[in-house]
Amino acid sequence: MKSIITILLFAASLVSTTVQAQMITEYTKTPGINTRFSAIVPVSDDPSTNLYVAGNYGPYLFIGEFEQSGVLVWSKKINVSDTSMVINRMIRDSNGHLVLAGTSINAGIGRAFVLKFNTVSQKVAWYKKSTASSYFWDITELGAGGDYLIGGSETGSGTGNQSDDITYLVGRYTGDLTLHQNLNKNVNENVSALLFNEETSSI
C-alpha cells in the first residue's frame, strides 16, 4: 500500500511539473501605449514558429508578427475609418493570410465586420461591414482554397426584435457577405463557434 501511495505522489508531482512548464517564459511590452491584443495565431504549423497577433493600437487596428521570444518582427497600424473596433476572432487560412472577424461599436450600436489581411504584401485585401445591428464571433475556412463561413448574431431582425443566430458565407477574394442561415427562433440565438469537417464537407 505504501508503494502505491508513493507512485501516486510521484505522478502528482509530474503533473505539477508539466503545468509549470507551460507557463509564460518570456514577457515583452507592446510597441506603443493603449495597445490591446485580442487574437493570436501561429505563422505555421511548426511548434517553434513565430506568432501573428491582432488587436487595437489606440484608434487603429493592429496586426503584427512576434518571435516566440517576444521580439517584434513587423507591425502594421490599419485605419479603416471606423470606430471602436473589437476583434473577436482571427484565423490563418490555407494561403497563410489572416481573416479577422469582429464588431465596430458606435453610439451603442454594433456593426459586424470581416477583414482579410495579406501577410505577404502586409496590406488589407478587403474590408466588409454589415449594415445591420450585428456581431461576428467566429470564422472558419470551408476547406483549403474555399470561401469562409462566419457566425454571430443580428439584433432586431427576427420576430419580437430578438437577437437571431446568423451565419454568412464570405467570398474568399471579394469579402462579399451572403446570408447562409438565420434561425429566427425568437430566443436570442447566437453562433459563437464554428467547425468545418473536411471529410464530410459539412458545417
pLDDT at site 88: 87
Residues 169 and 114: beta-carbon distance below 8 Å: no
How do residues 51-70 score in pLDDT, each as one tens digit?
Answer: 999 988 877 888 999 998 88
Q: What is the CA radius of gyration of the chain?
A: 21
List, in order of start, the domains of the chain with CATH numbers: 33-182 (2.120.10.30)
Residues 151-173 pLDDT 10s: 877 776 555 556 666 778 899 99
* 121: its cell numbers: 504584401
pLDDT at 130 over 50: yes
Q: Are 98 and 87 in contact (CB under 8 A)?
A: no
> pLDDT band at 16, cuts 50/70/90?
very low
* Whether the predicted pLDDT of 13 surpasses 60: no
Res 8: pLDDT: 37
